[in-house]
Amino acid sequence: MTFIPGIFKVLKDTTWPDRKQRWKDFLAVLEYTVFFTLVIFLFDKLISTGILSILKMF
């Protein structure tokens, strides 16, 4: 039955980020999300436009 106390020991020994670091991490996640969303959107537009132009040729 040392599992539960072991969990609390690990949590107590863990170093947690301070408030400033949490905001930096949050903004970094938002930046990456926006960046990859734009990349996927542009790639989708490029592919769909290319496929539509090929279909219009026939």
pLDDT of residue 10: 94
**Nearest-angstrom CA–CA distance, 22 and 28:** 10
2-46 pLDDT, tens per residue? 899 999 999 999 999 999 999 999 999 999 999 999 999 999 998
Q: Report the C-alpha gap between 22 and 16 in whole angstroms.
A: 9
Q: Does position 1 have pLDDT exceeding 70, yes or no?
A: no
pTM above 0.85, yes or no: no
CB 17 within 8 A of CB 25: yes
The type of residue at 22 is: R
